[in-house]
């Protein structure tokens, strides 16, 4: 009965529930906002990684 992962019909049921809950008019706005948030998160993570990267002039940390 239970297998690893989702079956295709599980995803279809989830998609139908999302459309019923949010309506088809609100979904494009929601997807656009989610994409914008993901881009901001990605750019902030890259900036944080660049800020924490050691520069060649920094001495190595000793234990």
For the ranges 7-11, 12-16, 32-36, 45-49, which has the lowest average pLDDT? 7-11
Is residue 10 within 8 A of residue 2, CB to CB? The reply is no
Segment 32-54, tens digit of pLDDT: 999 999 999 999 999 998 888 77
Is residue 27 within 8 A of residue 19, CB to CB? The reply is yes
- The answer, as to whether pTM is greater than 0.75, is no
**Tokens matching residue 44:** 């902030």
Whether the predicted pLDDT of 1 surpasses 60: no
Helix ranges (DSSP H) in the chain: 8-22, 27-52
Gap between the Cα atoms of 19 and 13, Å rounded: 10
CB-side exposure of 52: number of CA atoms within 13 Å?
Answer: 6
């Amino acid at each position: 009965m239970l297998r690893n992962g989702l079956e295709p019909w599980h995803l279809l049921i989830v998609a139908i529930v999302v459309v019923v809950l949010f309506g088809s008019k609100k979904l494009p706005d929601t997807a656009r906002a989610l994409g914008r948030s993901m881009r901001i998160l990605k750019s902030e993570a890259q900036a944080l990684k660049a800020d924490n990267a050691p520069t060649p002039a920094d001495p190595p940390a000793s234990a």
